[in-house]
Amino acid sequence: MVPNIHSALPVTGTKPRTSRKALLILGFLFALAAIALVAMAVSQNKPLPKNIKYGIVLDAGSSHTNLYVYEWPAEKENDTGVVHQVEVCKVEGLGISGYSQDTEKAGLSLQRCMKRAQEVVPEHQHRETPVYLGATAGMRLLSLQNRSIADRVLSAVEKTLRSSPFNFQGARVISGQEEGAYGWITINYLLGNFKQVTGTSGALDLGGASTQITFVPDQEPIESQENSLHFRLYGKNYKVYTHSFLCYGKDQALRLKLASDLQASVRAPDLLDPCFHPGYLRIMNISDLYTNPCIANGEQQLPFTQLHLQGNGDYQRCRMTIQKIFNTSHCPYSSCSFNGIFLPPLQGEFGAFSAFYFVMNFLNLTTEKSPVPLDKVTSTVERFCSRPWHKVKAEFPKIKEKYLSEYCFSGTYILSLLENGYGFTMEKWQSIQFLGKVTLHVDAGWTLGYMLNLTNMIPAEKPPTRPLSHASYVGLMVFCSLVLVAVLLLSWLTFHKPKCLQKGLI
Ligand SMILES: Nc1nc2c(ncn2[C@@H]2O[C@H](COP(=O)(O)OP(=O)(O)OP(=O)(O)O)[C@@H](O)[C@H]2O)c(=O)[nH]1
Ligand SMILES: [Ca+2]
């Protein structure tokens, strides 16, 4: 029969009482040790007050300037995908290159967004927060046209940025190569591709004045030096192809097309344009068309000062007129895109952003899931172009007329550039994803990559990592200690059995 523990409890006697006392003390000590260990684990793992760092980048594009504020946890600086975008402020008015007639205004235009940044970044961190301004194709064109005016514009923006409480780190015109490279770094950083064995994603950026294509080709070596970049990131080498086509952003491409149409036409001021909706009318000053180095001066030979554009919404014809701005007659390499520029065979997935996204998104051709097939994209653009302007306007009354009137041209231009310019076939088209934002709600673009580079946040070598996180380490230590204490207690009980137990008193 199993002895009944309770029925065997002693009622009197001194020895069992001493042993029970020893047991009680032991139990008490054990409980104390357990409480101490748990308390230690809890206090060790209590989240530390967040040490957040901030960085500000101004993207001074040809069409407008955007200010981005990024934040990241200081202790995770060298991890990938830890930077969040906390603010994007769109500067009202023109891009900075548009202030060539009144350069001071370029600086003043940034003041509202700089104020906004001061509200977003905590005041005690203003002085340590770096601020960078990078100007792209609009300023590249202005520099080519008139270097001293471009310098004055940069001085004006520098003055505004220096007068802010942030740590000003420079305002400069970045090269097309840098623009392509930093866009590629941004998306691959956000997609976590640098720390995975999977490949990287190519980057396609369509701005107002230039467009960039950047990817890691299969083929080596890269045949032209100016299209070749070499990076060592997180312990891996990357040979990257990049090219920036100045004048092939969508605003300049439209000018190129109009200038080419004018040359081909009988040089009359009335131009029937298949890239605008039927019933659409636009009057343009000829002098506005020929104001930059993208278009060689043909202005003088024209006998009129204004151009009357009249849309007829014919996608196929539009495509033909756009085709003329891509010169494919010569190629000094094994393969080219256009204008004699080297392009290796397309490789891997691509993320397409900026105007690639704005336009495709408007046309409902961006999906989170599988990409929309090329033939469906073509038929959608074709149908959209053929719609009468008054109907389009009535359907989208809130969209800026400049944007709305140009979606037909822009959609057709994107198809021409990707299909004819870069050679995205029906099959390859499926590898393009049109992206507005990547993970963590960060806008796709060159600015994040630029900041990561300038703040040395992407190390060349893989940072050494501990096998366990801090929390797992402390948890494991507590668990092992408890097991150890339990084992010790059990062995003590087994080998030095207190008399009360030996006598079966408890
Ligand atoms: N539909 C639409 N178009 C936009 C929007 N923002 C900009 N655009 C147009 O899209 C084109 C590209 O815009 P961005 O990527 O901002 O170009 P950017 O940076 O000013 O120009 P680059 O210096 O060449 O890079 C320009 O023609 C803009 O006018 C938008 O929110 N919606
Ligand atoms: Ca841009």
Residue 462 sits in a domain of what CATH number? 3.30.420.40
Q: What pairing do the DSSP bridges indicate for beta strands 52-60 and 65-73?
A: antiparallel
CA of 403 to the centre of ligand 2 (A): 16
Answer yes or no: do 252 and 200 share one domain. yes
Looking at this predicted complex, what is its ipTM? 0.99
Structure tokens at 465: 């990592």
Boundary (domain end) residue, out of 392, 417, 442: 442
Answer yes or no: do 257 and 279 share one domain. yes
Answer yes or no: do 63 and 113 share one domain. yes
Q: Does any ligand 1 atom lie closer than 6 A to the CB of residue 137? A: yes
Reference 54, options 115, 123, 102; nearest CA is 123
* 18 lies in some domain: no
What local confidence, expressed as pLDDT, does residue 380 receive? 98
Q: Does any ligand 1 atom lie closer than 6 A to the CB of residue 378? A: no
Terminal-residue alpha carbon distance, the chain? 17
Q: Which domain holds residue 152?
A: 50-174+446-484
CA of 219 to the centre of ligand 1 (A): 32
Structure tokens at 419: 């299909």
Answer yes or no: do 478 and 365 share one domain. no
Q: How many domains does the chain have?
A: 2
Answer yes or no: do 169 and 192 share one domain. no
- Burial class for 269, CB neighbours closer than 10 Å (0-12, 13-18, 19+): middle
The torsion angles phi and psi of 468, rounded to 5 degrees, stand at: -120, 150
Nearest ligand (C-alpha, residue 206): 1
- In sequence order, the 6+-apart residues with CB closer than 8 A to the CB of 151 are none
Structure tokens at 317: 């014809």
Please tell me the residue having the least CA distance from ligand 1 atom 25.
207
Q: Does any ligand 1 atom lie closer than 6 A to the CB of residue 176? A: no
* 501 lies in some domain: no
- In sequence order, the 6+-apart residues with CB closer than 8 A to the CB of 384 are 363, 392, 407, 408, 411
Answer yes or no: do 422 and 309 share one domain. yes
**List of E strands, 317-421:** 350-354
What local confidence, expressed as pLDDT, does residue 425 receive? 98
Q: Does any ligand 1 atom lie closer than 6 A to the CB of residue 61? A: yes
* 69 lies in some domain: yes
- In sequence order, the 6+-apart residues with CB closer than 8 A to the CB of 333 are 223, 224, 342
CATH value at residue 340: 3.30.420.150
What local confidence, expressed as pLDDT, does residue 506 receive? 45
Sign of the Cα pseudo-torsion (439, 441, 443, 448, in order): negative
Helices 137-145, 176-190: crossing angle, 10 deg rounding:
170
* 360 lies in some domain: yes
Widest CA span in the chain:
126
Instruction: Report the alpha-carbon distance of residue 429 to residue 423 in Å, rounded.
Output: 9
Answer yes or no: do 452 and 311 share one domain. no
Catalytically active residues are: 179
Q: What pairing do the DSSP bridges indicate for beta strands 167-173 and 130-135?
A: parallel
Answer yes or no: do 203 and 54 share one domain. no
Chain centroid to Cα 167, Å, comes to 23
What local confidence, expressed as pLDDT, does residue 8 receive? 34
Residue 491 is labelled as binding a ligand: no
What local confidence, expressed as pLDDT, does residue 31 receive? 75
**Secondary structure in 3-state letters for 356-383:** HHHHHHHCCCCCCCCCCCHHHHHHHHHH
Answer yes or no: do 164 and 257 share one domain. no
* 493 lies in some domain: no
**Secondary structure in 3-state letters for 150-172:** HHHHHHHHHHHHHCCCCEEEEEE
- In sequence order, the 6+-apart residues with CB closer than 8 A to the CB of 487 are none
Q: Quick one: which atom of ligand 1 is closest to the CA of 362?
A: 1
* 219 lies in some domain: yes
* 223 lies in some domain: yes
What local confidence, expressed as pLDDT, does residue 439 receive? 80
Boundary (domain end) residue, out of 410, 442, 474: 442
Instruction: Report the alpha-carbon distance of residue 385 to residue 414 in Å, rounded.
Output: 14
Answer yes or no: do 185 and 90 share one domain. no
Structure tokens at 495: 């080998």
Instruction: Report the alpha-carbon distance of residue 479 to residue 484 in Å, rounded.
Output: 9
Q: Quick one: which atom of ligand 1 is closest to the CA of 135?
A: 23
Count of CB atoms within 10 A of residue 233's CB?
21
CA of 60 to the centre of ligand 2 (A): 8
Q: Does any ligand 1 atom lie closer than 6 A to the CB of residue 354? A: yes
Measure the CA angle with vertex 96, ends 94 and 97; round to 5°.
100
Answer yes or no: do 305 and 423 share one domain. yes
Burial code (b: 16+ CB inside 10 Å, e: under 16) for 408-443 equals bbbbbbbbbbbbbbbebeeebbeebbbbeebeeebb
- pLDDT, tens digit only, all 506 positions of the chain: 333 433 333 333 445 565 667 767 777 777 777 777 677 766 666 655 679 999 999 999 999 999 999 999 998 887 777 999 999 999 999 999 999 999 999 999 999 999 999 999 999 999 999 999 999 999 999 999 999 999 999 999 999 999 999 999 999 999 999 999 999 999 999 999 998 888 999 999 999 999 999 999 998 889 999 999 999 999 999 999 999 999 999 999 999 999 999 888 766 788 999 999 999 999 999 888 887 899 976 666 778 889 999 999 999 999 999 999 999 999 999 999 999 999 999 999 999 999 999 999 999 999 767 899 999 999 999 999 999 999 999 999 999 999 999 999 999 999 999 999 999 999 999 999 999 998 878 999 999 999 999 999 998 888 776 666 667 767 777 777 778 877 787 877 777 766 655 555 44
* 41 lies in some domain: no
Answer yes or no: do 222 and 342 share one domain. yes
